Structure 1
Amino acid sequence: MSKGTGSRATGGKWAGRKLTARSLAGQFLLFQMVVVAVVLVAVAAVSVAQSSREFREVRGQRMIAVAENLASTPIVRDRYADPLAGRVLAPDLDRAIALSGARLVELIAPDGVVRASSDPSRAGRRVDFGPSLVVQGRAWSGDLDIDGTHSLVGQVPILSTDGAVLAVVSVSEPYPSTWQLLSGAGERLLVYLGLGAALGVVASWLLSRRIKRHTRGLEVAEIAGLADHREALLHSIREGVVAVNTGGVVTLLNDSARDLLDVGDDAVGRPVHELGLDPAVEHFLLSGEEGHDEVITTTTRILALNRRSASTRGKRIGTVTTMRDSTELASMQGQLSSHKSVTDTLRAQTHEFANQLHTISGLVQLGEYDAVRDLVGSLTRRRAEISDAVTRHVTDPAVAALLIAKTSLAAESGVSLVLDDSSHLSALDPALATDVITLLGNLIDNAVDVSEGSPRAVVRVAVTDDDGLTITVADSGPGVPEHMRESIFARGVTSKPHVAGGRGIGLALVRLVSAQLGGSVDVSDGQGGGAVFEVRLPRLASAERTPAVAAGRTDA
């Protein structure tokens, strides 16, 4: 499905070689000439058979008629037994030959002895009637060998008044040769046969040249070698390759693409919409835009796709899409985001503590020790209140630490992070706790980003483990439009107009982790505006986690 430059170069290289074997075009020309010859022979055979049948039917009746006419001649009936019958009846026999065009006319006794013949040398010979029924008193026509010549014979008996066979009148004519039969079929048949042969040869020659031009001079073995080499290259590369024609049918699919898209071996030759692909991937393969790059999150992978249109000799024939598995890369990016989140949290806390230390230092220099004591007590109580507000509802230490850190970070951005009073979470399996941190951390980061600068600037979090595990994060941002509630979970897609293209990985990871844990993630409108993200996980989902996703967790 390339544009043909490489193919032409390769074809020129192969065409320049001196081949010892017969070329493909030459083989095809020879084959076509053999086919034409077979057809001509078949037509000639049919023509000969038809002419032979017509000769047997027409001339056979003619031989019978001549024999009947001669047998009814009075002089023949009177002189058939005369010892000089050969001389007496010779004029009548010659006249019968002249009238019928037969080769031989004879008068034969019932015992097979020739009494008179248009060929005097045969007089007195004994002949074999063969399958003839004439000695039984019935006229007969058929094939007999006369002096080694295959002939058509008509025989009529001369009967007495009581029905006895007195003699037999035999009229015969040799079968014409094959050439005579063909000639007898008419000159036009020969002209048509010759014209057909000439046209067949010319058409075969032109077709062989066309094949040679379209195969760029390559022979069968060379074409097979190139095809094998192409298949080996396509199926050995790590990136997935999918070719789709203008009708939306898959024309090429290598092993990597088959694994990434999770389709069977029968995908080639089927329409894209019948393969059961993720809707975003299906739309990408069918959209046909030139030079378009996109990263799409499916339920199991994050795929980086690139599409190019394919054409040959200026005619567009479809698209070629390459794809890479970016799940591990996305996980590493998520891990870097989590480290950045921790760094930002420490920076916020450092800034806060620095201000507090400056205040305490100033009070000490002023000698306001009571004020110092009151300030330290107030700060201690505030920190204890934040910790107590979280740990009272969340027993798991990792999740609680994350919520406490995110509370401080949100406050640095001017956003209030509130844990709903209905929240309750028991201690989790360490593996599941890691995935919960990934989900919760990315959802909170997304909510804080969209809530920053809003009039209320609040993010509400609820975590419950009554029936499975449910995580709800509500923000005070602009909300998610209806048409974006599916695409919002694709990497690089965001509903925040002020956020550059570097964001978008968080929600993609949320969807990927949720799907791999057997859960789901949904987005809806909040009661007072904003968006509400809800993740539902089954109780025993931790057994299904994968190492690649775990690498992208968000740590406290």
Structure 2
Amino acid sequence: MDEKIKGKITLQALIVMLVVLVVVSSLGVTNMLIASKVAESTRRSLAEKVTITSRLVAESAVVRDGLSGKGPEKAIQPFTEKIRKQSGTHYYITVFDMKGIRKSHPNPALIGKPFQGGDEGPVLAGEEHLSTAEGSLGVSIRYFTPVFDEEGRQTGAAAVGITLKQVETAVDQSRSIIYAGLAAGLVIGLSGALYLGRRVRRVMFGLEPHEMARLLEERSIMIESTHEGMVAVDRAGRITLINEAAARLLEKAGIHGPFTGKEAESVIPRFHLPAILEKGEAVVDEEVDVNGFVFYVNSSPLKVEGRVIGAISTFRDKTEVKKLAERLSGTEMYAEALRAQTHEFMNRLHVILGMVHMKNYDALAAYIEEINIRYQDSIGYLSRRIKDPVIAGFLLAKMSYSVEQGKEVVLSEDSYLPDKKDSRFTHELITILGNLIDNALEATPIDGRPVTVLIESEETGLTIEVKDHGKGMDSPDEAFTKGVSEKGKGRGFGLHLVNESVGLLGGTIQVLTEKGKGTIIEVVIPLHGKGENK
């Protein structure tokens, strides 16, 4: 079926047409099978009635006496009319003697005249029989019964019949009941088809099958193109969906598929999906260790009309997330440093422009010389102590940024850092220094005492010490917990990143703080091995 036809015939119309076709076909076959049987049954029933009535008339004393001469012959007509009316006006009853002369008839004018039809011969010979012949009332079905007197001599016969027209009328009435039933079945079938079509359309959110297929295809493409791992489970906790990224990450952690259809608790127990299904609450940014690989996991229940029908987890390798965070953090720090330097540079340009307008060239030359000497002194001071150009540039930018904030960052004269030519080490060091200096500057009031930074490199390892004279910490033990901060909600990530970077480098952290006097944070990074963060 092409798109043009799909657009013309909706699913609802197709369902209605198919159901109506099935109902009409079923009713047609039913009519063929039943109608003929009903017609035959009606004819047989009418034949049985005329047979019974004919025998009843032939056995009656009034007819027997009337034909034998023991009773009045005129009594036959009222008696047969009474029976005819009781049996139904569509019947006729005729009594005639051995010469075929009628003694009773529905039409009194025909009494005394010969019987018509030519089929009365067998009954005058004493035999009962059923016959179809044309009489005074037209073609009819009639049953003949001989009449005998008390001595057993035949004195005449009784004929009870019904015209074929009346038979067909009775058959048509029986068929009309069938047709009424067929019509009712068709109406019910059509109503059911319309309801089913609307119900299916509502279940499918008003979409046609080809639209559902396209959405499913797009959904599959989107899920598979997602870089994050994605695992979905049903209400029973069985895995119903897992994308390629999830399979790749789990195989990296030593968990191999196939996964679909398995219990999530047996495959990824640390994701706690059964608990999500039970509580119906989402878990955000949970760190989960799977066979030594740490993932950041976000889990959420799937609800339809307020009822939990499943759950879904998305997760990424912590290493990848951390690399991205480092890149973003470093970029943000570089941008802040450049902005600070730009602001300072613009201020100096304004001073130079003012001196030019005032034509105070001697003072301008002296001012430029002073700036140059101060800048060269700063660069020289840093370059002699910090041999890593990236770290040196970063510290220079932080110093400029602190000046813009009305504060000061000072590098201790005892500092020394060789160029390790290790980009990973440099990135971790920027994360440690940047967050420690930022925290110290935030704790330092404007025009307060400077933040001191000490970087010492010895044979046993590297020591970093950042000292401020701020208000101190209330809970130093919780300072490195993710999301915990004395600055309010949405903070508490800087020292957490410091703690992670120090852990990756195998170092230790020590915090000395006193309320109202300040804080000293010391980081020691050994040359080999992992330490413990304190």
Q: TM bucket by the smaller chain?
A: 0.3 to 0.5
TM normalised by structure 2 equals 0.43
Q: Which has the larger radius of gyration?
A: 2
Taking CA–CA contacts closer than 8 Å with sequence separation of 6 or more, which of the two structures ends up with the larger relative contact order?
1
